[in-house]
Amino acid sequence: MLDRLSIRDFALIGQLELEFPAGFTAITGETGAGKSMLLAAVAACLGERVSRDALREGTQGGTGSGARVACVFTTSLGECRVERDLRDDGRSRYLLNGEASNQKQVKALAPTLLDLHSQRDQTRLLDAVQHAALLDSLPAVEPVRARHTRCWQAWETARDAHATLLRQRERDRELRDLWTYQLEELDTLAARPGEDVALAEEQSALSHVEEVKQGAWQSADSLWENEDNIHARLAEIVTQLRQLARWDKRLQPSIAQLDECLVLIEEAGRSLADHAESVELDPERLAVVRERLAVMDKLIRKYGGSLDALLAEQERLSHRLSEQGDPEQRLQEAEQALTRAGRDLNAAADGLSEARTAGADWLCTRINPLLFELGIEGRGLSVVMEPAAEHDPLGAERPRFLAATNPDSQPAPLEEIASGGELSRIMLALRTVLSEHHEGHCLLFDEIDTGISGRAALAVARRIRELATRHQVICITHLPQIAAAAEHHLGVEKEWDGQRTRITARWLDENGRLDHIAQLQSGHTGPPERAAARRLREQLQSTSKSPQIL
């Protein structure tokens, strides 16, 4: 239950400290007095978004200043204190039992602390998506819905994995095709280490055959063939030296060296002549060499800039292709996993459909007597299961609430037939039934009495009072019946202190309660109106408890 509410500089509330008792508390005040700001402050404390207008004009945000809201709850685990500081720059600071927290943690905790029903929630009742959420919150349905959620997540994971492998297979196929093409290109070249250098030399020789042939003949002729050849002239020198050596034996070594030169010159001359004789112009071979060099040069530029880099890339491509796994096997396994996940999901959807159908029957059985008690005399609420456009996280179908609010009417969607007052009573009945599974919860109602009066108002007041026997109920109301049925009464007023408007709240004693109820009934607080208010109080309360005056 909500024990204490502390507000500072929130909207028009300057400073407010409230302690809430157990049971049924009504909050009343003139229209525009700021009653809903109390619940807005509680909602803000529990993580709901607020506009910058919530920061009271003239304050600065930050620790120790700015708007601040704190709520203290009593839970089965002990006291829980939630605090929020709001700054004018839109930032907030959360504390949970004195420790730093954040909006996500606080919002996750909020449903375990209280159940807040505002006029916006009543409008949500017209949204079919909310029907599934309400039905799935039943204890018998919730675990089945949770299983469906897990199966959906598993199916999504399997689907994404399968899709990833399909894309990977396509990428692998493209890579394999590329690598295969590149390897075939290199295998067709079949280059050998050093071949580029050898081919360049061969091309050079083939390109200058005439120059080589002519030069070789000329050299052979000069060395050996013509009359004044080098060999003959050197032979004459050797002959002269031999004659001189008869007188000087020291010339013998030089003569021996020159004899060797004569032999070498003769061999070189004959070799050059043979080479000149053998060298022939071969344009076909030259074309082949040039073409191979051109192809090799092109691939060398493509694969690393050198023949060694090209050969290394050829080896890498061969290794990649041999090491690349079989994508079909992995894809087959993923397809099998997706099929299994699909079967599990379909089974979970069938189970969810059965649980929802049973839950809907139970809910209608429990809620329709309440609706009749609250003045809705038709067939009441019914639930139909409509096929979803496609299977999604909510299941393969959509629960849809229908209502027949008059004895002669057929069930129809709420948005087509329900008035504001009927929606209020349907929501109250839903909250009553759903709260049966959360004993000791705190229920906050913001004008759940919209659009009702007369006997319906009396029925709603009695139902809320009965609900307060199991829960703490805090209800903002404009109805005198609800205010009279409450055990405790908080009056909210808007005042002008000469400088600014401020909202105040105080617990009312019996006289104050009668004044407020009389004001709600007739707009007057004279003796007749107070007497009528007293009679209404006595009618709606079998016992009277004095509220705590703060």
DSSP 346-383: HHHHHHHHHHHHHHHHHHHHHHHHHHHHTT--SSEEEE
Q: How many other C-beta atoms are found inside a 10 Å radius of the C-beta of residue 323?
A: 7
pLDDT at 414 over 90: no
**Which residues are within 8 A (CB) of 255 and not within 5 positions of it... i.e. 6 or more apart?**
238, 241, 242, 245
> What separation in angstroms does the CA of 36 have from each of 33, 170, 250?
9, 60, 135
Q: Which of 12, 82, 11 is nearest to 46 (CA)?
A: 82
**495 φ/ψ angles, rounded to the nearest 5 degrees:** -125, 155
Distances (CA, A) of 276 to 22, 202, 219, 230: 123, 17, 10, 18
Q: Strands (DSSP E) along 204-348, which ranges?
A: none
Q: Hey, what are 129's tokens? A: 């998506």
pLDDT for 53 beyond 70: no
The whole-number pLDDT of residue 75 equals 86
- Strand-pairing partners, residue 383, are 401
The partner residues of 327 in beta bridges, in order of sequence, read none
Residue 302's contacts (CB-CB under 8 Å, 6 or more residues apart) are none
pLDDT at 511: 92
CA distances from 88 to 68, 82, 136 (A): 12, 20, 39
Burial of 544 (0-12, 13-18, 19+ CB in 10 A): exposed
Question: Is the pLDDT confidence value at 549 over 70?
Answer: no
Cα separation, 314 vs 39, in Å, equals 75
Helix (H) or strand (E) holding 443: strand 442-446
What sign has the CA pseudo-torsion 406, 412, 416, 419? positive
Closest CA to 336 of 158, 168, 167: 158
DSSP annotation of 56 reads P
Residue found under tokens 């042939």: 213
- Asked if residues 155 and 346 have their Cβ atoms less than 8 Å apart, the reply is no
At 58, the pLDDT band (50, 70, 90 cuts) reads: low
Enumerate the β-bridge partners of residue 403: 381, 412
pLDDT for the residue numbered 278: 78
Q: How far is CA 118 from the centre of its chain?
A: 29
The structure tokens listed for 328 are 């079909």
pLDDT value at position 17? 93
What per-residue confidence (pLDDT) applies to 120?
67
> Which range, 81-85, 446-450, 464-468, is most confident?
81-85
Closest CA to 315 of 463, 149, 183, 209: 183
For the cut 80, the answer to whether the pLDDT of residue 366 exceeds it is: yes
- DSSP conformation class of 549: P
Question: Residue 61 pLDDT more than 50?
Answer: no
Average pLDDT over residues 136-143: 91
> What span, in angstroms and rounded, lies between the C-alpha atoms of 432 and 443?
10
Q: What are the residues whose beta carbons fall under 8 Å from the beta carbon of 279, sequence distance 6 or more? A: 209, 212, 213, 216
User: What local confidence, expressed as pLDDT, does residue 3 receive?
Assistant: 94
d(CA 46, CA 39): 11
Distance CA 32, CA 395 (A): 43
Question: Averaged over 147-167, what is the pLDDT?
Answer: 94
Q: Does pLDDT of 498 surpass 90?
A: no
What is the reported pLDDT for 119?
67
pLDDT value for 147: 96
Position 383 scores a pLDDT of 93
The phi and psi torsions of 177 (rounded to 5 degrees) equal: -60, -40
The band of 304, judged by pLDDT with boundaries at 50, 70 and 90, is confident
Q: Among 36-45, 53-62, 72-81, 223-232, which is the least confidently predicted range?
A: 53-62
Give the Cα separation of 69 and 7 in Å (integer).
Answer: 5
Q: How much is the average pLDDT of 134-148? A: 92
CA 139 distance to own-chain centroid: 29
Are 501 and 516 in contact by the 8 Å Cβ rule? The answer is no
The sign one gets for the Cα dihedral 527, 530, 534, 539 is positive
- Read off the pLDDT of residues 100-131 as tens digits, 9 standing for 90 and up: 999 999 998 988 888 888 766 667 777 878 88
Percent of the chain clearing pLDDT 90 (strictly above): 38
Q: Is the dihedral of CA 8, 9, 10, 12 positive or negative?
A: positive
Q: Dump pLDDT digits (tens) for 500-518.
A: 888 889 999 999 999 999 9
* Residue 517 and residue 483 in contact, taking contact as beta carbons nearer than 8 Å: yes
- Min mean pLDDT across 29-38, 312-321, 466-475 is at 29-38
- Distance (Å, whole) CA 160 – CA 338: 9
506 by DSSP, 3-state: which?
strand
Residue 542 pLDDT grade (very low, low, confident, very high; cuts 50, 70, 90): low
User: Would you place residue 186 in the very low, low, confident or very high pLDDT band (cuts 50, 70, 90)?
Assistant: very high
User: Residue 69: beta bridge partners?
Assistant: 7, 84
d(CA 369, CA 365): 7
Residue 25 pLDDT grade (very low, low, confident, very high; cuts 50, 70, 90): very high
